[in-house]
Structure 1
Amino acid sequence: MTITHEDELEGLRRIGRVVANTMQAMAAAMEPGMTTRELDGIGRALLDREGAVSAPRATYDFPGDTCISVNEEIAHGVPGPRRLAEGDLVNIDVSASLDGYYADTGASFALGTVAPSLDRLCRDGRRAMQVGIAQVGPGKPLSGIGRAVGAFAARRGYTLIRNLASHGIGRALHEAPEEIATWPTQGDRRRIHDGLVLTVEPFLSRGGAWAVQGGGDEWTLHARPAAPVVQYEHTVVATRRGPVILTLPG
């Protein structure tokens, strides 16, 4: 989507706040012994309260209102009977629509005390997203996002999952430009234009390179080679004043 009117920006800000508030409330509610289905139910209730519609359920018939991925699951985890435990690494991804506008956000959370290396991975995962967002602006190359994230990852000794990309968003969950790499690529000549709405969502890992199906369903993705992975995601609009993050709680 390309924003052309102020009311479009306000519509995106509204749904951006809804998904951000939902994700943060779910993270605050996590506790050992809770099932991922119960955690998803909290998200569903919050979306319902705001009149928002789960985007993965409505768009793809996903069997949950949010995606909850635990430990070896790195994305698109299906809420179910799995019980959370102290020390788990939990990714919560919330995308939804309201009044015809879509927003998408996600983050990885450590439940309780985890190894220092996982704490560092979480901190650096958020930094990797911020490095990518800083490359969003009119006239800048889309590939600049991946180059900047890749340089950051290499300096810090990490790998990137190379088949889970960022994407355009706004009037649908996934729009053009599609497959925006958050890893270094060659040959992508596309440029960002003023008002473009997109996600920035690198998957930072300690050894993983690819996302593959796992978990016995058609949705859940695991890392190959097996390794810890974190993902942080905002929905962003490119403006001449700099990138504007739409998925902030408030």
Structure 2
Amino acid sequence: MDWVGAILGLLALVYVLQAWLSKSKNKKRLPPGPRGFPLFGNLHMLGEFPHRDLHRLAQKHGDIMYLRLGLAPVVVASSPQAAELFLKTHDLVFASRPPLQAAEHISYGQRNLSFGAYGSYWRTMRKMCTLELLSSNKINSFKPMRKEELALLTKFIQEAARDHVTVDLSGKVASLTADMSCLMVFGKKYMDKEFDERGFKAVIQEGMHLAATPNFGDFIPLLLHLTSRG
């Protein structure tokens, strides 16, 4: 088809332009890393368990390794000493978050504390959280609520043990955490029947899943334009 050839030609043109621009700029020393394919970079090297694949690659290329995921350059730190360089010694240089499509939709244009770019706005948010949300007085004010919720869970487990009923402790602890978070943030607990037909916890879990799921459009932005026009 003509449109297939046009897309392939456009992709090749983008790659050639990217290579030409990278060479025309001042060359910077990059950490060692594996060679990748044009356009896709090293995406094919990450499988079902990316952390295992990164560990395997780091054993060959070193604690600080350079990868290219699509068109996105990535530097991977794989040791405590290397992580300290990024998170402490040079933390201001690496403080910003990369643009992510999921964060754009979930966090109001990527303007929350988790995904926001480093700057005066982000520093103001951090100060507000430190003083208003995470201060000792604020945390201690919720102590009675936490004791009450923990007592309810303990009572439930005691009754289940008495009746010889199997209890999913992981699920109950997750529910306890969600209930405490709702009480602190919203002032009330949300039951599944009160929030959409899927339930409150299911909606929260779906949002977390969408935020954490890799999106090829973040690595190859051209795909976003093609799908949006299609």
TM-score band by shorter chain is under 0.3
TM-score by length of 2: 0.25
Q: Relative contact order (C-alpha < 8 Å, sep 6+): which is higher?
A: 1
Mark the structure with the bigger radius of gyration: 2
**Between structures 1 and 2, the one with greater helix share:** 2
**Between structures 1 and 2, the one with greater strand share:** 1
TM-score by length of 1: 0.24
